[in-house]
Amino acid sequence: MARLKDKYLSLKPALQAELGIKNVMQVPQIDKIVISVGAGFAMKDNKLMQNIEDTITAIAGQKASTIIAKKSVAGFKVREGMPVGVCVTLRGENMYNFLDRLISIALPRVKDFRGVPRNGFDGRGNYNFGIQEQLIFPEINYDSIMQVHGMNITIVTTADSDKAGFALLEKMGMPFTKGSK
C-alpha cells in the first residue's frame, strides 16, 4: 500500500520546479505524523483510557502509548502520574499508509466535509488539524468504543516555510478548503 509514497516520488521534480529549489535533496518531504488525544475526561477511568489507547492503535496501525502527567495542576484536578492522553508517532511505511487512508477513506466520510482548514500551518511548514470523532475510520467498530472522542493530527514536514509545506501536502492530495490561503 505504498501508493502515496510512489506518488510523492513521482511529484518530486514538479515540486522542485514549483518551489524553485536547485538541489533535489532539498525538496520538502513528510518527516512524521503524530496522532494525539487529550483524554483529561478519562483520567479517573482506566477502562476508558485503555479503550482510547486501543482505538488509536487500531487507527494508526502501531501501538499507541499513554501520556502521564509530569506535574500536578490543582486547577485541572490533575495529579502527577495520572494518565492525561494517548499519543502515537508514525514514520516510514506506517506514516504513508495512515496518510493514504486518511485522505482517501476517512476524510470523505466526515459529514458536510468541505476540506481541511488552510490555516493549520505553524510558520515552519508543519500542518496541524483536528478530527471530531474517531468513527470516520473504517477500522473502528461502533460497538467496541465506550465514548466518542476526537484527535489531533500533526504532519511534520522538512519544509522551511508554510508555502512549501502547503505545496507538498496539496500535491500529495490533502483536501484543503477552497479559497485563498
pTM here? 0.86
Angle between helices 162-171 and 3-19 (to 10 degrees): 140
In a domain, 19, yes or no: no
> What distance in Å separates the CA atoms of residue 19 and residue 118, rounded to the nearest whole number?
18
Specify which residues 37 forms β-bridges with. 86
Residue range of the domain that includes 120: 3-10+30-171
> What distance in Å separates the CA atoms of residue 70 and residue 21, rounded to the nearest whole number?
43
What CATH number does the domain containing 91 carry? 3.30.1440.10
Assess contact for 78 and 138: CB atoms under 8 A.
Answer: no
> What distance in Å separates the CA atoms of residue 139 and residue 160, rounded to the nearest whole number?
34
Residue 105: how many CB atoms within 10 A of its CB?
13
User: Mind listing the pLDDT tens digit of every residue in the chain (181 residues)?
Assistant: 467 777 777 888 888 888 888 888 888 989 999 999 887 776 677 788 888 888 889 888 899 988 888 888 787 777 788 888 889 999 988 988 888 888 888 888 888 888 888 888 888 889 998 888 878 888 887 877 787 888 899 999 999 888 988 989 888 888 888 865 5
> What distance in Å separates the CA atoms of residue 96 and residue 111, rounded to the nearest whole number?
24
Number of domains, the chain? 1
CA 94 to chain centre: 12
In a domain, 101, yes or no: yes
In a domain, 25, yes or no: no
